Structure 1
Amino acid sequence: MAAIMEVEPVGTSSTDPSIEHELKDATVSAVTVFNDRAEVTRELGLDDLEEGLQKITLKGLSKRLMNPDSIRVKAFGPCTLLDVLVARITPDVDEDAMKTLNNELQDIQERMRALEDENKLQEAALEALQAYTNYAVQPIGAHSGFEAPKPAEANGIIATFLERSMEAQARQRAINRQLSTEREAQQAVLKKQRELRSQARPRSDLVISLDVAKASSVRLEITYLVAGASWTPAYDLRMNLQDLSMEVCLFQTPPGAPHYKKKGGYGFGFPSFCLLLTLSPLLLPTNVQLRYYGQVQQDTGEDWKDVALTLSTARPAVGGQPPNLNPMLVEFEVARPLRVRKAKMAARSRGAVNSFGGAPSAASMAMPMMAMERAAMHDEMEEDDDADACLEEAPVASASTSSTGLSTNFKIEQPCTVESDNNRHKVTLTILNLGVRTRYLCVPAKSTDVYMQAQVTNTSDTMLLPSSDCNVFCDGSLITTTRLKLVMPGETFTTYLGTDAGIKLDYRPPNESRSQQSSFFQGKTNTAQYVHRCLITNTLGKAATVVVLQALPKPSDSAIRVKVTEPDMAALHGTDKGQVAKRAPADDEFGGGFEDVARGDDVELNSLTNNLIWTRRLEPKAQGEVRLEYAVEYPVDRPIHFREV
């Protein structure tokens, strides 16, 4: 820890021998970046130090130095480190030089005022001359009692006006040039004054005392904390989901029939037979590659060139002890004006945000090219594929990871350069191969597209920090950019991988029928019966779990009653017929977790949104139906309508 002392103005007293260097002369060798600061290590070599007491002064500590107590100094060589202190220097202003500059500035200002006064006089003379000329050459009768000037006299007046005007304007131009020169001289004097004052601004120097055992070279290592530096995590989530399976079909064709070709397959014609090869995608989502990046930015005023860079998850600003818990009182509430609170459930229920665990955004979902389409171009790209097959993907340099139990440090193996420009500099921290499971999600009333969702398990020992910059790639194509929450080792997170045409959805507008009943207690009521049908077809070569979301209307008035006829919730959950088994709201709008992948058909009700959630397990080439049937009863004299909230 460096002590702090106030030092007298430069030049007043200093008898101890001192070796002076600028701090920038010490090379930045290593930097550890935290979330809101950086620890900088500099090295300085001192050659041919004499034996005995030596005082080394490093002038100009960083202006972004967070705390002088953070400074640490190590000395290497035949010496003993005696003392380290931070000297706050307040130099005196050169009064004689400042007085000379003030006098120059006053002279310039006097000359400028004189020129501005002359310029005003020239302007007034021009105006007076213009007024006299206009008066003198006016037509006859304009001035009673005066005769109009003769032509020769008028010409003389006009000639005099032109001559005097040209002289005055020329003088004004000369005055403006002189004023411009004087202004430049004024700015030069002001700049010298600012430089003189800046030299007298307080600065901090680092003073190191050494006891050198013998004349030799010594190396100093200085470490300190600076503000203005940070790093944020970023991720690339890469999945290769597509594989190909081949179906061979031999069928008879009429003699002389042309070659048969079908999208996704190739046919070879024979005189009486045709061989059809069909390529279909197989989804084998067993693992996913997560590339973990660190984005470093800094404006500390010091460039870091070819340094050993380390990114740390430690949070020095949080402190090492928990906050104090003050006593709590309960008291009567003071009446306050009522405030209208805006409901935010609508955006959440509609899945407006595309984040891990949220509902898919149709604009951001674009499934990469299907394997069948790539197979159709195979004959055109065969030569290029053979050439590329000779080249292997180059490895990506990553950081070495060390953990202290309280934090994780990523040490970049290669030297890095981070300039003080506050721009993001991206480095690769690690590449993780994680386990993944998939399922399919759809909202038939909104879209017939079926979205694939992946659940990734952090099977590594690395903590994944929260980030709003996570790119999701599927088969080499960028699918979306989303957010990643804090994921500890062993935890899971989900993301969407776009639409998949392998799951087909057939949804038609609901059927509606109306009837009217009479009751002694309720009077006349209308009953509207609605039937929603959705047919799901699995054309993939493997079993798939599909989650279907349907909206169940929620009455806004006690006079409106909604009765569920199908699905039969009693058979699935053992409750009374027409009553749905509610569950607590979850982060995932589409129902329970990925444990649904392993189980069969199920249906739930989200108590927050009142949406029904079906889970269907479909075998390869199988079909399944989701049917929602409900009745809405309401008074005859009060029409109803449906409205999304």
Structure 2
Amino acid sequence: MASNVDSPPSFQPINAIELVSKESSKITGVSVYSGRAEVTRSFKFNVKTGQNQVTVNGLPNVLDRDSLRVEGRGAATIHDVTISSIPSPDNDEDDSTSPELAVLLVRKEHTSRALERCKKSTEALQHYLSTLSTQHVDVAQLGKIVKEYDATAEQLDDRILQLEKQLKDTDKEIEKEREKLWGAKPDDSLGIRAVIGVFADVEGEVEIVLIYAVHGATWNAGYDIRVDMQSKEEPVTLIYKAAITQRTGEDWSDVPLTLETATPTFGLGVPTLDPWTLSTYRPQAPAVYAQAAPAPMSRRSKIANDTFTDTFTHDVGGYLARTAGAPMAHRELQVSSKGTVSATFEVPGLIIIPSDNAAHNVTIVELKLSASLSWVCVPKKDTKTHLSAKIKNASQYALLRGTASVYVDGSFISRSEVPAVSPDESFDCPLGLDPSIRVTYHPQAKKKSQSGFYTKTTTLVVTQQITVHNTKTVAVDRVRIVDQVPVSEDAQIQVNLVSPGLHKGSTSSSGIGSVSAGSSKEDPAAKLVTVAKGITAFWDGADEPEPEVEALGRNGKLNWVCTVPPQGKVNLVLQWEVASPARTEIAGLF
């Protein structure tokens, strides 16, 4: 009787597909971050109906395995993804398969032994000469021995150099012969393998995209800052550059490149405070700790399910719900700003960045920026004048911290550092020394006098003159001269500022009399004083947006800000007096 039970379906064999990453795919995009990069690599191949096992060999060793994502397009479903290291090739091949290789190996062995003998002979000759005693050698024979030693050592040295060259040449010939027999030696930097299970509904071509992060790649910002001293509106041209370096093992050839200012972070969260309690100290016996049992290994399938995604299917309860023919979503590469946190820059066109660990420079953008120039000199310490610019980043680009080459009127001046700057934020940029602003710090003039009938008081008046000379053909604004008067730490010693005429009032706690360092905040004369046309004097810190008026003058430092005409000079006078009881020795006065 015939059985009504259906026979079980026959199992189809798994279709194995072997792919080499460099030969079977193309890099369609690279995003470079600070310290790593994200690579998008596309594979196209034919699959058979049913189960296909796709093996991709030659992925870089610096690949971050947790970052790998698998996407694709076609009537297929990804079942699992596994990452592993490619086993080292078996080097136990039979060398006798090639007579030429056998001869080369024998030659290498003979050369190595001959080289070893020569080195031992040299050591023995040196040992013989070092143990030779002149007491037992005739003086007439000593010159002959030295001459024979020199000749023998020279022969040995020549023989060693010859054998080392022969050994090196033989190694090259052996390497070439082995390449003929077994092919080129695999790249040690490309030793990662990905195995992808793909179930296809129909036979045909599918596309799979691997997106993964790699270490060993980075980019650093660099700048050229060009200052035009004749321009008033936008005197600064900032050329934003990027130096891209990678040693991932993969050459990026003709790829669209994106530079990211954001820094990827993993596993970072807001820290929490542990309880902080106090108690009476009580000595305790040493604690005995039991060794914890190791945690069970998670299944490979669960790791793959948690780590990898695909666009063949939506991950709903596994890899079962299919969206047939759904195209992959690729990020549009464009120059864009993402606010003050990060920005994305696209390098125009296609670019080649080989894996050579060398810096490859590209220009991101050229910006015309407004800036206010200022000059600062502290002539008491150094009469050189420093040029500085306060530059406003009036662009949509976030500037990363980097080194800048500074050019003023076409001449290289110095190298400076640009801090991290967000859009619409300003930053200070030192521009080096400006020799066209010359400051003279004249010798001090001192005058001493005494007063009082019963109690004698000695008063010393010190006058310091400063000359600022502008040799430019245009006027310069905001030339700042910084100087100081002494600060008394003794109640018997009084320091009074005479010139410049800063606001006079009650004696401050700093010991600078006749200067109101603690005057009311409503009194603007306590902050800035006009000395002459184009010259303003103030205590150090008084020009800040919200200065602490009560603290002004306590450190004795003061500033002048001047406008110096073209080919003109400005004279500044700092005068102060010190009053103390007669015959009082004052420490630190000069």
Deviation per CA, 1:102-126: give whole Å up to 9, x if none. Answer: xx99x979x959x969x99xx99xx
Separation of aligned partners in 2, 1:77 and 1:616: 74
Q: 1:511 deviation in Å?
A: 1.0
Structure 2 residue 67 is the aligned partner of structure 1 residue 70 = yes
Specify the alignment match of 2:262 in structure 1. 314
5 Å-filtered alignment, 1:248-327, equals 284-317=232-265, 319=267, 321-327=269-275
Contact 2:36 2:213 in 1 (8 A): yes
Specify the alignment match of 1:546 in structure 2. 479
Structure 2 residue 216 is the aligned partner of structure 1 residue 228 = yes
Specify the alignment match of 1:54 in structure 2. 52
5 Å-filtered alignment, 1:91-240, equals 203-240=191-228
Separation of aligned partners in 1, 2:163 and 2:194: 48
Specify the alignment match of 2:537 in structure 1. 602
Specify the alignment match of 2:424 in structure 1. 490
Specify the alignment match of 1:270 in structure 2. none
Specify the alignment match of 2:501 in structure 1. 568
Q: 1:323 to 1:425 in 2, by over 3 A?
A: farther
Q: 1:548 to 1:573 in 2, by over 3 A?
A: farther
Contact 1:241 1:285 in 2 (8 A): no
- Report which stretch shifted further, 54-63 or 500-509: 500-509
Contact 1:228 1:300 in 2 (8 A): yes
Unaligned regions of 5+ residues in structure 1, if any? 1-14, 138-167, 243-282, 333-397, 584-591
Which of 405, 414, 422 is 2:357 aligned to? 422
Contact 2:76 2:198 in 1 (8 A): yes
Specify the alignment match of 1:531 in structure 2. 463
Contact 2:257 2:351 in 1 (8 A): yes
Deviation per CA, 1:608-631: give whole Å up to 9, x if none. Answer: 964211223567898654221123
Q: 1:187 to 1:87 in 2, by over 3 A?
A: same
Secondary structure in structure 2 of the residue aligned to 1:35: coil
Letter in 1 for 2:274: N
Specify the alignment match of 1:18 in structure 2. 16
Secondary structure in structure 2 of the residue aligned to 1:570: coil
Contact 2:82 2:196 in 1 (8 A): yes
- Report which stretch shifted further, 528-537 or 56-65: 528-537
5 Å-filtered alignment, 1:554-593, equals 554=487, 562-571=495-504, 577-579=513-515, 581=517
Specify the alignment match of 2:43 in structure 1. 44
RMSD: 5.4
Specify the alignment match of 1:29 in structure 2. 28
Separation of aligned partners in 1, 2:566 and 2:412: 28
Which of 381, 388, 406 is 1:472 aligned to? 406
5 Å-filtered alignment, 1:322-333, equals 322-328=270-276
Deviation per CA, 1:27-61: give whole Å up to 9, x if none. Answer: 22321111111111222332x54443322211132
Q: 1:493 deviation in Å?
A: 1.5
Q: 1:426 deviation in Å?
A: 1.3
Contact 1:601 1:617 in 2 (8 A): no
Specify the alignment match of 1:616 in structure 2. 562
Contact 2:227 2:408 in 1 (8 A): yes
Contact 1:295 1:426 in 2 (8 A): yes
Q: 1:24 to 1:519 in 2, by over 3 A?
A: farther
Separation of aligned partners in 1, 2:87 and 2:584: 88
Q: 1:408 to 1:116 in 2, by over 3 A?
A: closer
Secondary structure in structure 1 of the residue aligned to 2:66: helix
- Report which stretch shifted further, 177-186 or 568-577: 177-186
Letter in 2 for 1:235: Y
Separation of aligned partners in 2, 1:450 and 1:71: 56
* Percentage of pairs with the same residue: 26
Q: 1:535 deviation in Å?
A: 4.1
Contact 2:240 2:365 in 1 (8 A): yes
Q: 1:94 to 1:495 in 2, by over 3 A?
A: closer
Letter in 2 for 1:629: Q
Q: 1:327 to 1:426 in 2, by over 3 A?
A: farther
Q: 1:63 deviation in Å?
A: 0.9
Q: 1:489 deviation in Å?
A: 2.1
Separation of aligned partners in 2, 1:461 and 1:562: 52
Q: 1:541 to 1:176 in 2, by over 3 A?
A: closer
Q: 1:402 deviation in Å?
A: 4.2
Q: 1:448 to 1:216 in 2, by over 3 A?
A: same
Deviation per CA, 1:497-518: give whole Å up to 9, x if none. Answer: 4566776655422212234568
Specify the alignment match of 1:374 in structure 2. none
Q: 1:284 deviation in Å?
A: 2.1
Separation of aligned partners in 2, 1:571 and 1:639: 25
Deviation per CA, 1:304-328: give whole Å up to 9, x if none. Answer: 1221111101111365532333345
Specify the alignment match of 1:628 in structure 2. 574
Q: 1:287 deviation in Å?
A: 4.5
Secondary structure in structure 2 of the residue aligned to 1:71: strand
Letter in 2 for 1:84: V
Deviation per CA, 1:285-312: give whole Å up to 9, x if none. Answer: 5452222111111222222122111110
Q: 1:416 deviation in Å?
A: 1.4
Structure 2 residue 221 is the aligned partner of structure 1 residue 241 = no
Deviation per CA, 1:395-422: give whole Å up to 9, x if none. Answer: xxx9722427752111112211112222
Structure 2 residue 434 is the aligned partner of structure 1 residue 434 = no
Separation of aligned partners in 1, 2:466 and 2:435: 16
Contact 1:21 1:57 in 2 (8 A): yes
Q: 1:480 to 1:96 in 2, by over 3 A?
A: closer
Deviation per CA, 1:565-584: give whole Å up to 9, x if none. Answer: 2223225999785336389x
Letter in 2 for 1:427: V
Specify the alignment match of 1:148 in structure 2. none
Q: 1:496 to 1:328 in 2, by over 3 A?
A: same
Separation of aligned partners in 2, 1:615 and 1:633: 29
Contact 2:506 2:515 in 1 (8 A): no
Separation of aligned partners in 2, 1:178 and 1:307: 48
Secondary structure in structure 2 of the residue aligned to 1:232: strand
Contact 1:457 1:491 in 2 (8 A): yes
Separation of aligned partners in 2, 1:181 and 1:232: 43
Separation of aligned partners in 1, 2:270 and 2:172: 56
Letter in 2 for 1:43: S
Separation of aligned partners in 2, 1:410 and 1:642: 58
Contact 1:544 1:620 in 2 (8 A): no
Specify the alignment match of 2:550 in structure 1. none
Q: TM-score, length-normalised on structure 2?
A: 0.62
Deviation per CA, 1:579-616: give whole Å up to 9, x if none. Answer: 36389xxxxxxxx99xxxx9972311367964211223
Letter in 2 for 1:74: E
Q: 1:412 to 1:181 in 2, by over 3 A?
A: closer
Q: 1:287 to 1:179 in 2, by over 3 A?
A: closer
Contact 1:238 1:476 in 2 (8 A): yes
Q: 1:448 to 1:540 in 2, by over 3 A?
A: farther
Q: 1:71 deviation in Å?
A: 0.9
